[in-house]
Amino acid sequence: MPHLPTNRQERKEADLERRVERIQRDHKFQRLRTRRSRRILAVISALLCVAIVPSFAQAGGIVGIAVTIAAWGSWWVLRISTRTVAELPERFLDERQRAMRNRAYFYAYLILGYTACALLTIGLVVFVLVSENDTVTLTTTWDQALGLVMSLTLLIALLPSMVVAWSDAGEQPIERRAGA
């Protein structure tokens, strides 16, 4: 007789195992798991992530929220296409997936560090070029600050899945039979 979970922690673990098993065996979204589809999703996610800042800054809160929701939706689809390899605990991954996930986190935060340094350097150069005797007043609105925070938050969440999507070979689409 199988062991039945008795306390909350065991039920939570059993539920997680069932969800991971379901995700790993799922064939419903097979067309999203090809290399081409994953790369397209990664590019769309990156563009949406970048588009959050100007949408909040130029178009206001409603448009900014709509772009942010679309970007979070692209993250969700990207996670489905990679079978959430970048987010799963280590005990659920085989050696290849574990190595891919570790490499994805390494490159994701390397990209994040270089992006942050580049943005800070560009900001400093612009400040020096625009200022006269270091007397420039920088004013930001609530919408601009919110757009920047939402974009950075999403970038941090997206990067590991984007690296997995870009670097993994993907899966072959399942051929449909003529009689099916």
Q: Give residue 142's pLDDT.
A: 82
Q: Give residue 170's pLDDT.
A: 65
Q: Give residue 2's pLDDT.
A: 59
Residue in 31, 28, 21, 43 with CA at minimum distance from that of residue 165: 43
pLDDT band (50, 70, 90) for residue 136: low
Contact 41, 125 (CB under 8 A): no
| Mean pLDDT across the chain | 81
Q: Residue 70 above 80 pLDDT?
A: yes
**Over the stretch 2-15, which tens digit does the pLDDT of each residue have?**
566 678 877 777 77
Q: Residue 52 above 60 pLDDT?
A: yes
pLDDT band (50, 70, 90) for residue 129: confident
Listed in sequence order, the residues at least 6 apart from 103 whose beta carbon sits closer than 8 Å to its beta carbon are 163, 167
Q: Residue 179 above 70 pLDDT?
A: no
Contact 17, 25 (CB under 8 A): no
**Over the stretch 152-171, which tens digit does the pLDDT of each residue have?**
888 888 888 888 888 877 66
- Strand ranges in 38-133 using DSSP code E only, listed in sequence order: none
Q: Rounded to the nearest 10 degrees, what angle do helices 35-54 and 142-167 cross at?
A: 170
Read off the pLDDT of each residue in 110-128 and give the average, rounded to a whole number: 87
Q: Give residue 15's pLDDT.
A: 75
Read off the pLDDT of each residue in 147-154 and give the average, rounded to a whole number: 88
Q: Give residue 180's pLDDT.
A: 47
